[in-house]
Chain A
Amino acid sequence: MRPFDYRRMADLQPVDQPGDRLIAGGTNLLDLMKLDVEAPRRLLDISRAGQDRITEHEGGLRIGALVTNADCAADPRIRADYPLLAKAILAGASPQLRNKATTGGNLCQRTRCQYFMATDTRCNKRQPGSGCDALQGVNRNHAILGTSEACIATYPGDMAVALTALDATVEVLGQGGTRLIPVAEFHRLPGDDPARDNVLRDDEVITGVTLPEPVAGRQIYRKIRDRSSYAFALVSVGAVIKLREDRIARVALAFGGLAHKPWRDPQTEAILTGQPPSPALFDQAADALLAKAKGRGGNDFKIALARRALAAVLTEATEE
């Protein structure tokens, strides 16, 4: 790690100096600092800056930015009304990491692209304009949707996939005050500016995440990975599905491991909505989801895997 100044913060404030980085759980930031991928000049320790509670909010819940992943997944209200969120969090990392990782930090988790994490390779996200070694390299874990020729990295997290399917909102505080960003719009596609993972401005800090009123229906999180635990997703699916009179009355689907952001596709959901569930319908939904999918060699399999993961989730959600 490069030297830095360290300062403890008593509350969450907008960032006012370039080179400052906020640290809370530190599980991602310190990892990347050790790899020299991140080199902040100053660390502002917000781990005791409040915002560590889950409160009732407009019929839903507000999760403070510093609520740990472990606390969030253990919260009885989350477990009862938003089981998808609890399941997604529990599918990620390890108990030790979840005890440190925070809600805000997890949203800002950076990609696991091995080239991004290696300063001796070319990466447009780490070093804009340097090129992308993943395009023709080892890219088994990489994105198949919404990629660009500049970057095929994925957003690696699980929690945000659930939050996306649950229509949650990110609350951020900047010099100009508070603004609300739907989670689905929080992360961005790489385009020709992959250095930016999300729409957070330099001065902004996440203060919380709000969940709308609970919705009825089955909530499923399915994560497919190379080993049964403690591994990043090859593909994951977060689903909220409500059946009425043998038809899919309402469906929300978000996918992890496929793109630079948790992927939500309105057309896929539209195809399913109002229809009686069947393997043919699920196939049709997958066709829509994956119409523009593009493999880069190592990750070609994700197209088939996403299709089957979707079928598995829809089958499970619509079973008697």
Chain B
Amino acid sequence: MATTSATLDVNGEAREFQGDPRQTLLDFLRLDLKLTGTKKGCDHGQCGACTVMVNGRRINSCLSLAIMHDGDQITTIEGIGTPENLAAIQRAFVSHDGFQCGYCTPGQICSATAMLKELADGWPSAVTEAVADTPAPSDEELRERMSGNLCRCGAYSNIIAAIREVMQSEEGA
């Protein structure tokens, strides 16, 4: 029996998918749900602009079928904050000018949000000297962990500064 529908939890709201099984999660969000904050940059998992969180984990929504996400909790940039009520990471991106054109920005922010959780969970990365140890959150660690998100405007160092600020304020809190 072919499966033709799915129910997704998108930013806390139940959304029915009932359509062409070819539709990616990205296109479902952008075209059907009008959640255009998630961007299409390459459609092949090569740029990170489409990054969303699924059950707390960051993924490329362009390389995932909507129909495969039955029961999953999807968090998009719209679920992180609003202009009237910015999340700390969004505020930090604004104040550090962690973008120019803004097109990769939602993906960077979703990615950074999940990345901070991965760090908190002690996940290693390709630059972790001894993978068995808990990694120290150096700038090099942050850069490696954010390397799945391209920024052609070249705001990279400002993005790292924004993430760093959020990490420090969370430590202080």
Contacts and interface: CB of A to CB of B under 8 A. Distances in A.
A–B contact (CB under 8 angstroms): yes
Interface of A: 1, 3-8, 23, 26-27, 30-31, 34, 42-43, 45, 47, 70, 73-74, 76, 79-80, 83, 86-87, 90-91, 93-97, 99-100, 228-230
Interface string B82-116: 00000000000000000000000000000100110
B57 interface: yes
A100 B124 contact: no
Nearest to A231: B147
A95 B126 CA distance: 10
B51 A96 contact: yes
A4 to B, nearest CB: 7
B68 interface: yes
- The 9 A-B pairs with the shortest beta carbon distances in the complex, nearest first, are A94-B148, A229-B147, A6-B21, A5-B2, A90-B126, A99-B57, A79-B132, A1-B22, A74-B123
A42 B144 CA distance: 37
Interface of B: 1-4, 20-22, 24, 43-45, 48, 51, 57-60, 63-65, 67-68, 70, 111, 114-115, 118, 121-126, 128, 130-132, 143-145, 147-149
A120 B147 CA distance: 31
Contact of A34 (B43, B124, B132): B43
B65 A26 contact: yes
A96 B148 contact: yes
Given A4-B22, A5-B2, A7-B1, A99 B59 contact: yes
A275 B111 CA distance: 47
Nearest to A95: B148
Report whether over half of chain B's contact residues are helix, strand or loop; otherwise say mixed: loop
Contacts of A79: 124, 131-132
B21 to A, nearest CB: 4
Contacts of B149: 94
Given A8-B70, A83-B131, A90-B125, A96 B59 contact: yes
Given A6-B2, A90-B131, A97 B124 contact: no
Given A5-B2, A96-B51, A229-B144, A87 B126 contact: yes
A4 B23 CA distance: 11
A6 B147 contact: no
A229 B143 CA distance: 9
A90 B124 contact: yes
